[in-house]
């Protein structure tokens, strides 16, 4: 029993690594988003010849600048897709942890009774606490991943008809990560590692 709980605590430490990796990727995605968004915000300006001031008589300048900006935008969008893939990798890894954990409880040599599952020794968490914690964490990151991919596709469609307000609210949504409330994550870890806080 105690050994199983210990194993589960190890899993939570690995999940922490996954979450750290997620944070790095999230920061990368946000900065990519900001770069893309500032290009998209400029596209309208670049379309109007009257905004070129002294440059307007240079051959082809408007087209060249416009094309180059579109190329950079495309490059950024591609790298955003790559970042999203890596984020998805983190979600996969969390899913695997949950699956393994369930397997461990069900497929173990000794079948645990309901009572054993919910039994807490001292401040140590029960096995059910561990399973539930892992499940919730996976669910949060899974939904946040779905949100991030839709924000990214929304950005692509905004490239065609930009609006500053929309760009800003999308950015807010991306930065906030509403599906991963920090306090909730923290409270899960508080339960699992209660003994370390004593």
Partner 1 sequence: MESRLSSLSLSESTHQSPQNSGVKSSPSSVSVSRLWRPAAQRNMKNQWSRLNSLRHEWISSSSTARSHATSLVNAYLSQRHFRKHLLSNFAVNKNALNSSVNFIYLRLFSATASELVLHQDELISSYKDMVTTVVNMVNTSASMRCFLKGATNSPFIQFSSTSEDTNDNGDGGGIPVFTFYPISTFEKLAWEMVEMFKLELYLKRLLVIEFLSLRSKEDPINKRLCWSDEIYEGEFGNLSRCNLDHREAPESTFVQPNFQPDSDILQVYLTAWLTDVNIDKLRVDDIFSEVGEDMHVNYV
- In the complex, the smallest distance separating the C-beta of residue 63 from partner 1, rounded to whole angstroms, is 10
Give SS3 for 148: helix
Six-digit token pair at 66?
């416009």
Asked if 78 touches partner 1 (CB under 8 A), the answer is: no
Asked if 69 touches partner 1 (CB under 8 A), the answer is: yes
| Interface with partner 1 in residues 3-62 (CB under 8 A) | 42, 45-46, 48, 51-58, 61
- In the complex, the smallest distance separating the C-beta of residue 60 from partner 1, rounded to whole angstroms, is 9
Nearest alpha carbon to residue 141 among 109, 101, 103, 184: 184
Which of 48/182 has CB closer to partner 1?
A: 48
Q: Which residues of 6-22 are buried (b: 16+ CB within 10 A; e: fewer)?
A: eebbebbeebeebbeeb
Give the CA angle between residues 32, 33, 34 to the nearest 5°. Answer: 90
Residue 130 in contact with residue 139, Cβ under 8 Å? no
The one-character DSSP state at 120 is -
Q: Determine the size of the site formed for partner 1 (CB under 8 A).
A: 18
Which of 9/35 has CB closer to partner 1?
A: 35
Asked if 136 touches partner 1 (CB under 8 A), the answer is: no
Asked if 118 touches partner 1 (CB under 8 A), the answer is: no
List of residues contacting partner 1 (CB under 8 A):
42, 45-46, 48, 51-58, 61, 64-65, 68-69, 72
């Amino acid at each position: 029993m105690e050994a199983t709980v210990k194993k589960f605590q190890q899993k939570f430490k690995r999940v922490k690594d996954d979450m750290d990796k997620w944070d790095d990727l999230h920061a990368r995605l946000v900065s990519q988003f900001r770069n893309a968004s500032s290009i998209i915000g400029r596209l309208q300006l670049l379309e109007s010849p009257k905004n070129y001031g002294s440059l307007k008589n240079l051959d082809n300048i408007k087209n060249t600048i416009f094309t180059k900006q579109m190329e950079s935008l495309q490059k950024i969008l591609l790298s955003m897709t790559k970042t999203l893939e890596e984020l998805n990798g983190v979600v996969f890894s969390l899913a695997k942890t949950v699956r393994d954990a369930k397997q461990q409880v069900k497929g173990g040599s000794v079948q645990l009774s309901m009572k054993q599952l919910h039994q807490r020794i001292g401040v140590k968490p029960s096995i059910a606490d561990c399973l539930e914690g892992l499940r919730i964490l996976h669910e949060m990151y899974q939904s946040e991943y779905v949100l991030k991919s839709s924000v990214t596709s929304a950005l692509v469609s905004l490239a065609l008809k930009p609006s500053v307000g929309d760009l800003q609210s999308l950015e807010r949504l991306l930065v906030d990560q509403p599906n991963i409330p920090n306090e909730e994550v923290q409270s899960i870890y508080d339960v699992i590692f209660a003994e370390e806080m004593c």
